[in-house]
Chains A and B, each alone.
Chain A
Amino acid sequence: DSGVTQTPKHLITATGQRVTLRCSPRSGDLSVYWYQQSLDQGLQFLIQYYNGEERAKGNILERFSAQQFPDLHSELNLSSLELGDSALYFCASSVSSGRSRETQYFGPGTRLLVL
């Protein structure tokens, strides 16, 4: 167990809908990262937050947004869902913003299925 938690574990929804995925980082970690893993694909970096502020962006669609709250948990919002958004969404956390070379610890993921 990495100490990173994600809810829900599974999510089934329809095209056009909006969902929110939640992540709680390890105790003491200030940075949260979101990744998308499609079937048999690698890990695509979406976005990073540090202590409530956005720090880095990857291949995140405009239909997707994220935020990090004062208690450091983060939410990833996916809207106008399409079939191709079906994937595993992972959250990871690390101690700080990454000025040093830090380990990222992954949560168990949320499996999203868009029908």
Chain B
Amino acid sequence: GENVEQHPSTLSVQEGDSAVIKCTYSDSASNYFPWYKQELGKRPQLIIDIRSNVGEKKDQRIAVTLNKTAKHFSLHITETQPEDSAVYFCAARFSGGYNKLIFGAGTRLAVHP
């Protein structure tokens, strides 16, 4: 079935450290993997995405890597700052479902000053 697993569920780091969140997906035909950041009580906002034809994408302190063979992708945040504290969701676009996204359960990231 359609499933995205996300780990860890909570992550606590010191300011300046790196944070890594990992996701695995079930549909080998999935071809689009966005990451959303959701602050408390706010809307999910896209922070980075990756298409299946590339293995890595970077945007300043944020990077995403994709391993299609293993069906997993990861979010890397370097030099974390307190404002990075939020819930992060990975998602995968499943084949045959138009633009239907299945989301992971989320990772609550806390960055301590």
Q: Report which A residues bind B (CB closer than 8 A).
A: 2, 31, 33, 41-45, 48, 50, 55-56, 58, 90, 94, 97-99, 101-109
Contacts and interface: CB of A to CB of B under 8 A. Distances in A.
Given A99-B98, A101-B31, A106 B103 contact: no
Contacts, number: 67
A101 B43 contact: no
B101 A104 contact: yes
Interface size class of B (residues with CB under 8 A): 20 to 34
A104 B89 CA distance: 13
Nearest to B30: A101
Contacts of B106: 41-42
Contacts of A103: 34, 46, 49
Interface of B: 31-32, 34, 36, 42-46, 49, 51, 89, 91, 93, 97-106
B99 A48 contact: yes
Mostly, the B contact residues are strand
A101 B89 contact: no
B97 A56 contact: yes
Nearest to B51: A101
A83 to B, nearest CB: 21
A41 B38 CA distance: 12
Given A42-B106, A101-B31, A106 B98 contact: no
